Each structure stands twice: as C-alpha cells, then as structure tokens.
Amino acid sequence: MSANIHLTATQPVVAVLAVVIRAGSVLLVQRANSPDAGLWGFPGGKVEFGEDLLHAAERELFEETGVKAEAQFAFNAVDAFDHKDDGALRRHFVLIAVQCHWQEGEPVAADDALDAKWVSLTDIESEVSLSRDVARVARQAAG
C-alpha cells in the first residue's frame, strides 16, 4: 500500500486484494505493516485515484510479489479495522477481493511484504497465521 493518500480518520480506505489460485494453492504474503503485521493474507493495497479495481489488483500483485496475473472480476468485499493501543479505531479499510488468473512468475517478497509463497488450500489454516477472512475468501475463489 504505497499510495500517498491523506484521508481523515472518518473515511474508509478502499483497497484491493489480489486472489490468485493455482494448482490447488493460493498466493499469500506476510504483511510487514499494520493492520495485521506479521500475519498472512492476499497481496493488495490501496486503489489509486482514477485507477479501476482490476488494474489496482494487477499492480499491487506485481509490486508485492513480482507475479503477473490477469485480474478478472471482483467477487467479495470485507472490512479490516486497525485499532490504536487504547482500542480506538485508527483506520477502516474496505477490501475488495479480485479473482486473478496467474500468468507468469514465482513469488518474491517486495514492497511491504515480508515473505510471499504459494500455500495449499487444504493446509491454509495450519501452515500460516492468517488475517481474518483469508481462508474463507480463498475457498470461495477456488470454487
């Protein structure tokens, strides 16, 4: 999420999740920043002004992993809340999941990802520590 957007704390931030399924596995990244630093989730980030959802998903996927994919359609939306130490709400993200078809490349962590890898859908909940809704959204994408 590299865009320099200054929003007040009363406005949700719109972001995309690039959901890539290949051969029974889903592409995940370990987050470097809040919310959910250290947990695993989909590559993604803020939608830039004037950018459509599909291009945002393709851009964020490539920036964070080096993987190229064709974004096909948005299929789900989830909320993510970032709280301060005292419990007060710091930021609210509306995350739009975009189904992407893998084209080329193997994941290498970059940008704000600590790590990136393919995770088996059958072992997703036991192999890595996940952000909320990741397993459910991945299974929905896999059909």
Beta bridge partners of 93: 13, 80
Please report the pLDDT score of residue 7 as a whole number: 52
Q: Is the pLDDT of residue 2 over 60?
A: no
Beta bridge partners of 130: 40
Q: Is the pLDDT of residue 139 over 70?
A: yes
Please give the distance of CA 104 from its chain centroid, rounded to a whole number: 18
The rounded distance, in Å, linking the Cα atoms of 45 and 39 is: 15
Q: Give tens-digit pLDDT for 55-110.
A: 999 999 999 999 999 999 999 999 999 889 999 999 999 999 999 999 999 999 99
Residue 135 CA: distances (Å) to CA of 2, 63, 92, 105, 120:
25, 23, 21, 23, 11
Amino acid at 88: A
> What residue has token string 């939608």?
47
Q: Is the pLDDT of residue 43 over 90?
A: yes
Annotated domain spans of the chain: 13-142
Strand bridging mode 68-83 / 89-104: antiparallel
Please report the pLDDT score of residue 34 as a whole number: 80
Query: What CATH number is given for 13-142 in this structure?
Result: 3.90.79.10
